[in-house]
Amino acid sequence: MPEMPKSTDAQTAIRYDDTLAEAIEIKWQTYWQEHNTNKVPNPGEPGFDPSKPKFYALDMFPYPSGSGLHVGHPEGYTATDIISRYKKMKGFNVLHPMGWDAFGLPAEQYAIKTGVHPEVTTKQSISNFRRQLIRFGFCYDWSREFGTIDTDYYKWTQWIFLQIYNAWFDPDQNRARPIDELIAEFEAGSRKVKLNPNAVEYVGAGDLPDGTDAGAWSTLDRETRKAIVDSYRLAYLAEQTVNWCPKLGTALANEEVIDGRSERGSYPVFRKPLRQWMFRITAFADRLLEGLNDLDWPSSTKTQQSEWIGRSVGAEIDFPILAPSGNPMGEALRVFTTRPDTIFGATYMVVAPEHPLVDLAEDFAPPELDIKRLRNYVEWARNRTDIERQENKEKSGVFLGLHVNNPATGKPIPVYTADYVLMGYGTGAIMAVPGQDQRDWDFAKAQDLPIVRTVQPPEDFEGEAYTGQGPAINSHFLDGLDIKQAKATMIEWLRAHKFGAPKVNYKLRDWLFSRQRYWGEPFPIVFDDWGNHHPVSEDTLPVTLPPLADYAPEESSDPQPLLAKAKDWVQTTAGEAGVEGFDPDKPMRRETNTMPGWAGSCWYYLRYIDPKNEDRFISKEAEQYWLGENAVDLYIGGAEHAVLHLLYARFWHMCLHDLGHLTSPEPFRKLFHQGLITSFAYQRGDKTLVPVDMVEERSEGHYVEIETGAPVSQITAKMSKSLKNVVNPDDVIADYGADTFRLYEMYMGPLEASKPWNTRDIIGLHRLLQKIWRLCITEQGDFITTDTPDETTEKQLHRLIHKAGEDIERLSFNTAIAAIFEFVNLAKKLTEDQADRFIRVLAPFTPHLAEELWEKLGRAPSVTTQPWPDFDESKLTDDEIEIPIQVMGKLRSTIMLPKDSDNKAMEEAALNDDKIVKFLEGKTVRKVIVVPGRLVNIVAN
RNA sequence: GCCGGAGUGGCGGAAUUGGUAGACGCGGCGGAUUCAAAAUCCGCUGUCCGAAAGGGCUUGGGGGUUCGAGUCCCCCCUCCGGCACCA
């Protein structure tokens, strides 16, 4: 880092350098804090102006890690800061808050190693993060700050859990409703009393609930009623095969498992049955999918969410199971297919190794079946980890010894089990159509099973399974129909013959919400002696997290949640927990699982609106003003949350909306992802990487490894300790100041693009601030203005005001800053009035420097409360403009013309231009194209 | 494998609707200033041919549409991101 000259050097000249920048920045940060400049009142509070429209600009709040801010954090934060300051100047009441996503594994893992309570390390990290964010000059309303670990915050997280627990999804109204309304309908007899037919926790348990009428409510005992009601709750407890991560000591949601490994830490994940809290998010699959249409979100994020939800339309079809005698047994094997039109080509069936039919098959096995081989296969397949499945997709499987009847052909076909069929999707069974499905083709080849094509491939088709369009063949009454017609016809036939019905399936699974960790929100749930769960009453919230003596998980194949160690805390009574219908002294046990980190981040954007409210999660009045129809107007954060946080938060929001707590149907109106900040790295010829301090630049663009002198190539890579290319924001601020840092990150390139950090480039932005300083301030430190306005400067200022405003609106900060450069390069001296407007343009970008100049100009602080300057449309263009003249699309000359010249004048001027006359010698002009105000193109040969 | 996004000087990038490609910044070269240096200011800086005037080429590669293509269409290559036995 080159040493910057200090303003305290021999000369007393006051120049903009790191020392002055720091002095100015600390001065104004202190001023803002002391004068509550960034505090935004709520409706009804003093100073609130209800006539102004609102703008809610939200950052993804950080997880406060021990290592402090990364340079990636201030990228998005600076963007929202500029927008927030600009919108405020444009007359909006701007809500721009910040807080802490503070529950989570790293603090707990640190606690296991060191014995320091996670709360201690987390609060230290929060202090450090807060210090850093304040040092950047971000205009957060710090009076709204909170952390997800605060008891008066997670009290309401628990309250929301109870709201969802006490709700059910009504498919007729396509919305969540209070569970009391369901019970009332049962009591009144207006709704059939039966288990929830969509309760996935009962599917596959061999007890398909649909249609099973339980009889009148009044005739049912307490246990049956509870079982029925619980099957509808949007939060439910179920024994499920979950993603168990032994290394993290907890179960994980599907969304947290990537390629069979944990999203955090990348540890192997195994499948294990556990009794866990689940959210019935699948009930909202269609709402979550359709809601995306109206949102101003990046299309890639919408695509990711909709692919995660994975809606597919098809049919469920029953294949009657045949007894060894060949006669139907009365039971059917139900499959889901998106291609009912291909059923005539279904030459065999496959069920997942976990499918109940596998156990049944052993009972009915014909003597010739090798039971041992079947058992071995099922055992092997069931224990295969997801990682192993990823690595080896060879088609293997065994015959179950059973046959079913293909209802379309009327012929028996064999049933296999194979691990390429997943128990977790559809019914865990498929009809295999090798002619139209490559996986089935591969399996059929491996097992020597017949293949029948039911769609005519084109003549030149050389592949195996054919999945394209074409007329149906070998399919009796479907022959000749295209796929769409054939599907519709087949579904009608199946329906008429009671073999099947249309069905929509989703890849989305219910959301596993229990974690066996310590550092998370406790559930507001207790259990009685019989293991029934009961919600604690609202007035006993929060259920506070007890201290623990040690945090190490106990090694066990039957994992116990860590909170079970807090024995005194676990033991409570019905009276203490507020559970009705029991003797107050009746002992109850608290739920010892905790909520995942997502719980706190699911609704933090709501709490900012009314963070100190002790009576409600947020007040109705604040909700209606700050959220209204659009909720968050702009949400900026990383793309890594495309299907985790952003899906979960939408789900909670929809529940709260349906239950009447929120007006807006969706939480985040506009979403924007800032790009990753990468770093340069150097690569040898063999593609190995060299740490940056081992490389030097010999000449422009040519780099060598210092030790060997071997050339290396510059590439971009993620910042990492091993490459020694991690940048600490504190260091950059110390060297240049926060205003320079802010400008640099915004000038690097488009906000959404991934782009490399290049320390060498920062100086350019620092020089810009020095130029601005010199433009306005003398070496004695006084503001210098001129009384004679320069017309070119005036015009350029109008263009700057116009372009900067427009570019901020479309989040194109790099071009807005380029416009500031152009203005400063052109302006020699400003009048007081020009300086006034120019400083206001600077204010969102470099708030500290703008405040200082504003004060030196003799204006009363703060410039942040000033309106954005106006511009004059007529000053945006010159009277005379340069018009390019092309011949055959190639530039041959340019001419100056009055800006409103008509086509004829332009054509004439072009054809009379000396260069053009010369160029056209010996050629015939065929046509002249004139674009008014843009160019002239002459077609000639 | 499938689905997105991208590829522009030595580097980061600009070109908002098909209309002067390379704005702006970094770096580089030259000059002014200085005892000297830093800082600052001025000029030049895609590439090839040419002494110059001027001209050719140029937005990953190839083809096309158009008076005109970085931008639209088709094929291919490379990189990044996501999904991945979902029937």
Task: Write out A923-941 in H/E/C secondary structure.
Answer: CCEEEEEEECCCEEEEEEC
Bridge partners (DSSP) listed for residue A527? A533, A589
Considering only residues 318-337 of chain A, list those whose CB is below 7 Å from strand B.
335-337
For A202-206, the CB contacts below 8 A with 24+ separation are A202/A231, A204/A354, A204/A356, A204/A423, A204/A428, A206/A356
- Nearest nucleotide, C1' to the C-alpha of A15? B39
Kindly tell me if the per-residue pLDDT of A439 is higher than 80.
yes
As a rounded value in angstroms, the CA-to-C1' distance for A699 and B44 is: 20
Of A921 and A178, the structure prediction assigns the larger pLDDT to: A178
As a rounded value in angstroms, the CA-to-C1' distance for A272 and B36 is: 77
Range list of H helices, A353-477: 356-364, 371-383, 386-391, 438-447
Return the DSSP state at A753.
S
Over residues A231-261, the pLDDT tens digits come to: 999 999 988 778 888 778 888 887 788 777 7
Span of A203-207, A356-360, A782-786, A796-800 with lowest mean pLDDT = A203-207
Dihedral sign computed on CA atoms, order A854, A855, A857, A860:
positive
Nucleotides of B under 7 A from a protein CB: 3-5, 10-16, 19-21, 23-28, 38-42, 55-57, 67-69, 80-87
CATH architecture of the region A54-148+601-673: 3-Layer(aba) Sandwich (3.40)
> Contact at 8 Å (CB) between A519 and A513?
no
**Which letter, b or e, does each residue of A791-808 get, where b requires 16 or more Cβ atoms within 10 Å of its Cβ?**
eebbbbbbbbbbbbbebb
Q: Return the closest-CA partner of residue A515 out of A282, A257, A279, A276.
A: A276
Kindly tell me if the per-residue pLDDT of A840 is higher than 70.
yes
Could you tell me where in chain A the CATH 3.40.50.620 domains are found?
A: 54-148+601-673
Could you tell me where in chain A the CATH 3.10.20.590 domains are found?
A: 877-940
CATH architecture of the region A312-505: Alpha-Beta Complex (3.90)
Q: How far is CA A825 from the centre of its chain?
A: 41
Q: Return the closest-CA partner of residue A348 out of A427, A445, A425.
A: A445
Share of chain A above pLDDT 70, in %: 96
pLDDT bin (cut points 50, 70, 90) of residue A202 is low
Which residues lie closer than 8 Å to A256 by C-beta, 6 or more apart? A243, A262, A263, A264, A596, A644
Angle of helix A759-776 relative to helix A832-842, nearest 10 degrees, comes to: 150
Torsions phi, psi for A721 (to 5 deg):
-60, -40
At residue A519, the pLDDT reads: 94
As a rounded value in angstroms, the CA-to-C1' distance for A916 and B53 is: 16
Range list of H helices, A166-251: 179-188, 222-230
At residue A28, the pLDDT reads: 97
For residue A653, say whether its CB is under 7 Å from any atom of strand B: no
At residue A3, the pLDDT reads: 37
Residue A29, helix vs strand vs coil: helix
Average pLDDT in chain A: 89
At residue A589, the pLDDT reads: 95
Considering only residues 475-514 of chain A, list those whose CB is below 7 Å from strand B.
505, 507
Beta strand pairing status for A257-258 and A397-405?
unpaired
As a rounded value in angstroms, the CA-to-C1' distance for A760 and B61 is: 33
Kindly tell me if the per-residue pLDDT of A761 is higher than 60.
yes
Q: Return the closest-CA partner of residue A851 out of A186, A23, A78.
A: A23
For residue A734, say whether its CB is under 7 Å from any atom of strand B: no
As a rounded value in angstroms, the CA-to-C1' distance for A887 and B55 is: 15
Q: How far is CA A77 from the centre of its chain?
A: 16
Torsions phi, psi for A478 (to 5 deg):
-90, -15
Range list of H helices, A238-350: 285-290, 299-309
Which residues lie closer than 8 Å to A113 by C-beta, 6 or more apart? none
Which residues lie closer than 8 Å to A43 by C-beta, 6 or more apart? A50, A621, A622, A625
pLDDT (mean) for A859-887? 90
For residue A430, say whether its CB is under 7 Å from any atom of strand B: yes
For A776-779, the CB contacts below 8 A with 24+ separation are A776/A830, A776/A835, A776/A839, A776/A853, A776/A856, A776/A857, A777/A14, A777/A853, A777/A856, A779/A11, A779/A13, A779/A14, A779/A15
Rounded to 5°, angle at Cα A324 from A322 and A327: 45
Span of A620-634, A699-713, A835-849 with lowest mean pLDDT = A699-713
Could you tell me where in chain A the CATH 3.90.740.10 domains are found?
A: 312-505
> Contact at 8 Å (CB) between A732 and A785?
no
ipTM for the whole complex: 0.95
Q: What CATH code would you report for A1-35+726-876? A: 1.10.730.10
At residue A889, the pLDDT reads: 87
What's the rounded Cα separation, in Å, for the pair A928 and A278? 71
Query: Could you identify the residue whose CA is nearest to the C1' atom of nucleotide B80?
Result: A754
Of A861 and A140, the structure prediction assigns the larger pLDDT to: A140
As a rounded value in angstroms, the CA-to-C1' distance for A889 and B59 is: 17
Share of chain A above pLDDT 90, in %: 62
CATH classification (class only), A877-940? alpha beta
Return the DSSP state at A334.
E
pLDDT (mean) for A40-56? 96
Phi-psi region of A249 (alpha: psi -120 to 50; beta: other; left: phi over 0): left
For residue A426, say whether its CB is under 7 Å from any atom of strand B: yes
Residue A652, helix vs strand vs coil: helix
What's the rounded Cα separation, in Å, for the pair A289 and A171? 15
At residue A716, the pLDDT reads: 81
Bridge partners (DSSP) listed for residue A233? A168
Over residues A119-176, the pLDDT tens digits come to: 999 999 999 999 999 999 999 999 999 999 999 999 999 999 999 999 999 999 999 9
For residue A930, say whether its CB is under 7 Å from any atom of strand B: no
At residue A208, the pLDDT reads: 40
- Helix, strand, coil distribution of chain A in percent, nearest 5: 40, 20, 40
Span of A322-326, A390-394, A396-400 with lowest mean pLDDT = A390-394
At residue A700, the pLDDT reads: 67
pLDDT bin (cut points 50, 70, 90) of residue A13 is low
Considering only residues 237-276 of chain A, list those whose CB is below 7 Å from strand B.
258-259
Q: Return the closest-CA partner of residue A157 out of A619, A630, A543, A516.
A: A543
At residue A207, the pLDDT reads: 42
pLDDT (mean) for A357-385? 84
- Nearest nucleotide, C1' to the C-alpha of A762? B26
In the structure encoding, which two tokens stand for residue A785, read together?
Answer: 């203005």
Q: Return the closest-CA partner of residue A532 out of A225, A199, A207.
A: A225
Bridge partners (DSSP) listed for residue A590? A526
Three-state SS string over A780-816 comes to CCCECCECCCCHHHHHHHHHHHHHHHHHHHCCCHHHH
Kindly tell me if the per-residue pLDDT of A679 is higher than 90.
no
Could you tell me where in chain A the CATH 1.10.730.10 domains are found?
A: 1-35+726-876
